[in-house]
Amino acid sequence: MDGAVTAVSSNGEHSFSKPNRDSITLLAGLGVQGDAHAGVTVQHRSRVAQDPTQPNLRQVHLIPEELFREVGQAGYTVAPGDLGENITTRGIDLLGLPVGTLLDLGGEAVVEITGLRNPCQQIDDFQHGLLRRVVGRDENGKIVRKAGIMGIVVTGGEVRPGDPIGVRLPAQPFRSLDRV
């Protein structure tokens, strides 16, 4: 189940997309160094408006590059960083991992998965109609979110495109991902 990092992105300003970088540095308990969403408490504007003292369970945003191919088949052009993610991955079913999974990134960094990204209207502002491609309902009517996962930094370190990603599952029973 191991995979690889295909791109890394960060932005010090609150904007939807994030430019790609040669590397990013993850800081334990904070997130991506220099990124607008780094911090011990919530940094996403909508969350800050609700309660600025909430813990930041969304320090790092990861998306599988396989999603870009899927939406591409429907006519959308999405590249790494376009949807605001910090780390683009290949070869891992991110959405199928349980809460508490540890991702070993590169040589040092470790991110603990906290939940699913909750896709918002900004995705449709980026490309009209894209939101319905990354959030929908399954055959039982349950909401399915495909816009990536969120995590917190357990161990800091530098992450670069091409770095391996190791997956360490938590003890059972597994808890399915839900929006954070």
Q: How many residues does the chain have?
A: 180
Torsion of CA 133, 136, 139, 141, to 10 degrees: -170
Q: Largest alpha-carbon pair distance within the chain?
A: 42
Could you tell me the pTM of the whole model? Answer: 0.95
Secondary structure percentages of the chain, helix, strand, coil, to 5 = 15, 35, 50
What is the helix (H) or strand (E) element at residue 104, kind and residue range? strand 102-105
Rounded CA gap, 47 and 158, in Å? 27
Tens of pLDDT, residue by residue over 123-159, are 999 999 999 999 989 999 999 999 999 999 999 999 9
For the chain, which domains are there? 3-168 (2.40.33.20)
The 10s digit of each residue's pLDDT in 71-114 is 999 999 999 999 999 999 999 999 999 999 999 999 899 999 99
Is-contact 87 73, C-beta < 8 A?
no
